[in-house]
Structure 1
Amino acid sequence: MPIFTSASPPKSYELRLQAINGGASYKYDPTQLRDTQSPYMLNMVADDQGTLSKRDGQGYVYASSLGAGGVNGAYGRLFGGNKIFAWGAAIYRQSGSSAPVALISGLANSKGSFFAFNGKLYYLNGTDYIVIDSSLTASQVTAAAYVPTLTMSNAPTGGGTPFEQFNLLTPAFKASYSANGTATAYTLPLTGLDATAVTATVNGVAKVETTDFAVNRTTGVVTFTAAPSSGTNNVVITAYKTISGNINRIKNCRYIIDFGGDNDTRLFLWGNPNYPNRVFRSGLLDPTYFPENEYSDVGSSAEAVVACAKHYDKLVYLKERSIAFTIYQNPVTQGFWGADQIGASFPLYWINGAVGCDMPGSVQVIDNNVVFGNSELGLFVIVQVSIRDERNVRPISGNINGASGRPGLLDLGKTALTAATSVDDGSNYWICVGNQAYVWNYKLSPFANTGNTAADEEALAWFPQTNINAACWIQDNRTIYYGDRTLGRLVMFSTVLSDFSGAINGVWRSKLFNFGMPDWYKTVSYLWFTAKAGGFSFFTIKYISENGQTLDQESVNVSSFRWDQATWANWSWAVNQYPPPVRMKPKQRKVEYFQIEFSNNTANQNLTLLSLVIPYVAVKKVK
């Protein structure tokens, strides 16, 4: 005979989230996320302990803008106690919140980059190469470029020992002669000289053209009126020869980094559209000297070098579709000068040929590993540079790249992505694309190279931000500034919970919970959440079920104190640093899925979440 069983009584369960710090994830359906991840959140960040709250607010450093058009670049730290940035056709300094003051004008109005080296600041924008000294005096580097001595120990007829290479930044060059006491004609190593006056010293005494000597600029012969006395390298002649295009090899570059192996002794420049795969390097400890043959062509010119980054004693070259690196080697034979000339060498080694970088502003060194972006594939980290292997580059932005119906980073458009900027604040990697940003808290969720690529990527906590429009970044200890993309002004982050006196829209939405029981109807009668103490805030709370509609909406005051609500009858000087959990009554009956959203869109109010406890009852099986 058939056996009839009665239905099991409802059973009670509980979901406890002690930290809501998983960040956003658009990778999977909202039902498939980790419990602490969110399918939709805005303007929230987690500290290193996992406390979720609104990000810092923003305000202008100075009330007035310099005008329309974004900031072209900024030095990433303070220099001489000032914020240094380029806007329009000028470079400015800004002390505190005072008005910006121009240091130099008449420059090209184009994007550029700053770099500090040996106590001076350098700026390169594709047209101008500027130096700013410690007194904040700015000038063109070419005005005081190093003048190399091409040959030493020349006889008057020439033929001396090659000594230094021609400097791409100046037409000036020197030649040093050992006079024989009788010769008056001295042959320079170059012909076809410029009209610029030639100068000379004989035994340290300055000589003047047309008075002490004559110059045949066609043949490059200098004839003294009286023969210099005998000596060793006692005659030094300085002449000028402009070689078309030389200076623009350097000035047309846009990016700078220092490198020299264990010691950063040279500047490396790249970004010249006429030499897309070429990286130029300066002389030893001299940014005013770029020897004409000191460069590296990194692979084919069909693929540009987009960025460079240091990884321990290596310099990583990030091309559009591949990655290589160089190291410093010394001493070596320099083939340009012959077997007797000893100098530095920077050999090339390839790392990866499967992925590259076309987002130069995305590059940072995070936890000693290079992070970079690709506008088609997302963000990556280089985990090692020892050998060529596709596994040495790992993806890190899968949670925020976006998916069908769930737009993310890669849906912001190639133009905006290739113009992205980034900053490392010591705990977070920020990448700003257009007027949006994504923040990876790498202290809370460091990248772990376990070999499981998908799991390593999914474990990273990313936090989406809006209303951030950073063209470049400046850091002053814990304070972060950025140059606006559309106006000539700097913006500062602060603990004031407003953006330019307006609201910061903070939102956190949970995953769509089925509580691991997709085949059961559940009832959620009540829940608790804990908010961080401090300040007065209203939370708007929505409850959402599987039909996608908001079933209830409540505003909850999570303030620990307000003067306008205080009464002396209940007065206490005690401070409630740890407020008790707030109990809510969702009254969601017989739902398959349950989702909760917290939001606050009011100026000067925070949205914080420490924990969430959701009791639920499994009512009956879904038929």
Structure 2
Amino acid sequence: MADKFLLSVKKFAGLDQRAGCSSTAEAFPTLTNFRVNQSGHLEKRGGYGLIYEGVGGKVTQLWNKSGKVFAARRRTAFRLEDEKFVALGDADSDVTGFFEFYDRVYALGGNIYHADLEYLQPVKGYTPIVATACSPDGAGTLYEKVNLINPNRRVQFNGDGKSLVYTLPETNIYLISDIKINGIHKSSGFSFHTSSNTVEFEEAPPEGINNVEIKYCVHENSEESAMIYKCRFATVFENRLFLYGNPDYPNYVFHSETANGIPSAEYFTPMGYHVFDKPVSSLVSCYNRLLMFCEDCAYYTYSELKTDSLGRTYASFPLFELNAGKGSLAKGNMPTCNNEPITLCDDGINRWRSTSIADERTAMPFSERVYKHIAVLKEHKDELVIINRKARSELWFAVDTGVLIYNYAADCFYYYAIPHVSALCEHGEGVLLGIGTNIYLHSDSYTDDNGEQIKAEFATPYCTFGAPYSLKNLNGAGLSVESGGELLGNLRVQRGNLTEEQALSERFVLPAMEQDGCRLVRCRLHLKRFYSCKLVFYTYSPKLCITELCLFGKQLTGFTRNN
């Protein structure tokens, strides 16, 4: 006797590498160059085309925010203008990142550069007012701390209308940069005495409050400025710029200060830092918290207003432990997904959830189903690039071997065989790819990879059709195809031993559609007496969308075996 069976899948669940034998076929152990769209259908991915051809070093950075697109190839920075990348010049060292601070774009590369000007220009750094309301003899009120990236300082004096000599508060001064009296620059009529650190005027400045401002320059400490300039990554949080990734200070996170009450990316004080007992790998801001990750632990901070002894209000950033066992293996800024930070940990990709409890419940892994790909990501953690492609609700995890994608709207994974990707950023409806020395645009408008055919493939798990110990005959397969071309396939079966795989030489072809439109394409198969079977489908056609998969046959009820 024989009972007919029909296995129908109308909504696909993406990759699941845990699948061995299964009674269903929603998830696939192999899914390459197909994506799962919003309807749960399998759709062949778009290709990519060349938009910038470079020479020399590989593309190391791609960045896009508010429609501003920048790129870097080793030391050279580029800006996208009219769909063409224009060189902005060379930095002191390899450009390691871009960031936006109050509508200005900056680049990091052995210095901090303005990147939204015609050419890269190093920042000058804010000149702090180190003392204010000073009398001519130098007594006054300390106001702002010195700037690590600018050797200039300012002192404001209250002129008394009588004193000719004004005493400066430091001893290593070598230059008077500027003097203003009642807001008017004074270029002559004074002399500077290095032995006494005093400025002597030929005519006494008039009486006033903070009406005499002297700007002077001390001998620059290159080690102090290098603490900031050699940082490789930047994150903006609560009107502050947080820098980290300095190879000489890997355990440090530095943050900027407000410049006379105004947020600035060019003002770093000697006390503006956090130090950890391990190298810092990643930062990500989420709501009113900034999460700071080492490879195997996590901390957080927030902005807390405090008042000093003079009654002045300032922002403090206290540090708290968040998780003692998980952090971020990848380096650089991490994306957020539905306002939850995403990091790669030892147990896979984790989603960090808001909680008042600092333990393992703050990080939830969700990538067990793609454990083989996770092992590859961990092996290449130093080159891993992660972006949130918001237009498609996708998280992209790119390494040299290819791109693993998590669709968080459909809660499924799939894999794109796009090797050697060193940089990524979203651009309109597509994604910019840095591959080698070139920049490509990945988009549905392309049907090949820069002239090369795309092979898309998916394979079902070994299907038992709900009866793992009964023999079966498979009579055919059917696909509901919305649009697309020829689809090829082959069969693998298990007979006699559930762990024994037997490949069949029989192949089948589902013909191409002449025009778009949903239809059911059937193929007759003559597979006899098996316990489970696996179907492998692949296509080179430029366009294909599968809405349903059907397998039908008969179960031989008189033929069973014990486990």
Q: TM-score, structure 1 length as denominator?
A: 0.83
CA drift of 1:551 comes to 4.1
In 1, distance between residues paired with 2:137 and 2:474? 99
Q: Given the alignment of the two structures, is residue 101 of structure 1 paired with residue 49 of structure 2, yes or no?
A: no
Is the alpha carbon distance of 1:583 and 1:321 closer, same or farther for their aligned partners in structure 2, counting shifts above 3 Å?
same
Is 1:224 the counterpart of 2:201? The answer is: yes
Which amino acid in structure 2 is aligned with residue 120 of structure 1? R
Q: Distance in 2 between matches of 1:318 and 1:233?
A: 45
Partner residue in 2 for 1:25? 16
Secondary structure of the residue aligned to 1:246 is helix
Instruction: Write the distance in 2 (CA, Å) between the matches of 1:34 and 1:167.
Output: 64
Shift of 1:294: 4.8
In the TM superposition, what whole-angstrom CA distance separates every residue of 1:232-258 from its partner, at most 9, and x where no partner exists?
Answer: 111110001123422112111111121
CA distance in 1, matches of 2:113, 2:165: 39
Shift in Å, 1:137: 4.7
User: CA, structure 1 residues 94+289, in 2 after alignment: closer, same or farther (shift >3 Å)?
Assistant: closer
1:5 alignment partner in structure 2: none
Matched with 2:237 is: 259
Q: Which residue of 2 aligns with 1:181?
A: 161
Aligned to 2:25: 35
Alignment correspondent of 2:374: 409
Q: AA paired with 2:431?
A: I
Contact residue 169 and residue 288 of structure 1 kept, 8 A: no
Gaps of 5+ in 2: 495-500
Q: In structure 2, what is the equivalent of residue 612 of structure 1?
A: 549
Q: Does 1:621 align with 2:560?
A: yes
CA distance in 1, matches of 2:139, 2:355: 45
d(CA) in 1 for partners of 2:513, 2:153 = 73
- The answer to whether the aligner puts 1:234 opposite 2:211 as a matched pair is yes
For residue 124 of structure 1, what is the amino acid of its counterpart? Answer: L
Q: Do structure 1's residue 582 and structure 2's residue 521 form an aligned pair?
A: yes
Partner residue in 1 for 2:364: 394
| 1:568 alignment partner in structure 2 | none
Matched residue of 2:65: which SS?
coil
Give 2:404's aligned residue.
438
Q: Deviations over 1:368-389 (max 9, x none)?
A: 1000113x43211101242211
1:129 paired residue number: 112
Structure 2 partner of 1:155: 135
Residue 365 (structure 1) shift: 0.3
Deviation at 1:227, TM superposition (A): 2.3
RMSD over aligned CA atoms reads: 2.1
- C-alpha contact 2:76 2:94 (8 A) present in aligned 1: no
Aligned to 1:353: 324
Q: SS at 1:399's partner residue?
A: helix
Kept in 1, the 8 Å contact 2:24–2:463? The answer is: no
SS in 2 for 1:609: strand
* Alpha-carbon spacing, 1:24–1:288, altered in 2? closer, same or farther (3 Å): closer
**1:86 deviation in Å?**
1.5
Map of 2:486 onto structure 1:
538
The structure 2 residue matched to 1:469, chosen from 420, 427, 435, is 420
Report 1:501-540 matches (<5 A). 501-533=451-483, 535=484, 537-540=485-488
Aligned to 1:249: 227
The residue correspondences of 1:538-577 to structure 2 (distance < 5 A) are 538-546=486-494, 547-561=501-515, 577=517
Deviation of the 1:59 alpha carbon: 0.9
Letter in 2 for 1:495: S
Q: Is the 8 A contact 2:5 2:465 kept in 1?
A: no
Return the alpha-carbon distance in structure 2 between the equivalents of residues 362 and 267 of structure 1. 13
Q: Is the 8 A contact 2:31 2:459 kept in 1?
A: yes
Match of 1:453 in 2: none
2:57 to 65, 69, 84: 69
Structure 2: distance between partners of 1:34 and 1:237? 79
Equivalent position of 1:572 in the other structure: none
Task: Identify if the C-alpha distance between structure 1 residues 362 and 183 changes in structure 2 by more than 3 Å, giving closer, same or farther.
Answer: closer
Q: Tell me the CA shift for residue 557 of structure 1.
A: 1.2
2:245 counterpart of 1:268: no
1:138 pairs with 2:120: yes
Percent of aligned positions that are identical: 21
Amino acid at match of 1:327: Y
Deviation, 1:78, is 6.1
Give the aligned partner of residue 47 of structure 2.
Answer: 57
What is the deviation of 1:468? 4.1
CA offsets 1:336-361 (integer angstroms, 9 cap, x no match)? xx453321111112110111112025
- Secondary structure, aligned partner of 1:528: strand
- Compared with structure 1, are the counterparts of its residues 612 and 382 closer, same or farther at alpha carbon in structure 2 (3 Å cutoff)? same
Counterpart residue number, 2:191? 214
Paired amino acid for 1:75: W
> What corresponds to 1:199 in structure 2?
178
Map 1:284-303 → 2, pairs under 5 A:
284=258, 285-300=262-277, 303=278
Task: Give the Cα–Cα distance (whole angstroms) in 1 for the partners of residues 396 and 195 of structure 2.
Answer: 58
- Structure 2 CA distance for partners of 1:305 and 1:49, relative to 1, 3 Å: same
| TM-score after normalising by structure 2 | 0.92
Given that 1:317 and 1:323 are in contact with CA atoms closer than 8 Å, whether structure 2 keeps it comes out as yes
Q: What residue identity is the alignment partner of 2:78?
A: Y
**What residue in structure 2 maps to residue 483 of structure 1?**
434
Say if 1:358 and 1:373, in contact at 8 Å, map to a contact too.
yes
Q: Taking structure 1 as reference, are residues 212 and 339 closer, same or farther at Cα in structure 2, changes over 3 Å only? A: same
Structure 1 residue runs of 5 or longer lacking an equivalent are 1-8, 403-407, 446-460, 562-575
Equivalent-residue separation in structure 2 for 1:586 and 1:363 (angstroms): 48
The answer as to whether partners of 2:256 and 2:269 remain within 8 angstroms in 1 is no
Correspondences of 1:368-387 after superposition (within 5 Å):
368-374=339-345, 376-387=346-357
2: distance between equivalents of 1:124 and 1:33?
53
Mapped to 2, the partners of 1:539 and 1:490 lie a distance apart of 28
Q: Give CA-to-partner distance per residue, 1:162-209, whole Å, 9 cap, x none.
A: 111111221000001112222222111211113x4432122333223x
1:281 equivalent to 2:255? Answer yes
Aligned to 2:446: 496
Matches of 2:522 and 2:231, distance apart in 1: 61
Q: Give the residue type in structure 1 aligned to 2:433.
A: Y
**Contact 2:284–2:333 (CA<8 Å) still a contact in 1?**
no
Equivalent residue for 1:595, pick from 527, 534, 539: 534
Sort the Cα spacing of 1:224 and 1:607 in 2 relative to 1 into closer, same or farther, 3 A: same
Within 1, Cα distance between the matches of 2:440 and 2:123? 26
- Aligned counterpart, 2:149: 169
C-alpha change, 1:255 and 1:553, in structure 2 (3 Å) is: same
CA distance in 2, matches of 1:430, 1:198: 50
Query: How many residues are treated as equivalent by the alignment?
Result: 548
Instruction: Please tell me the residue identity of whatever aligns with 2:86.
Output: V
2:147 and 2:333 mapped to 1: Cα distance? Answer: 32
Return the alpha-carbon distance in structure 1 between the equivalents of residues 268 and 389 of structure 2.
36
How far, CA to CA, are the matches of 1:119 and 1:480 in structure 2? 23
Distance 1:366 1:587, change over 3 A: same
Secondary structure, counterpart of 2:26 in structure 1 = coil
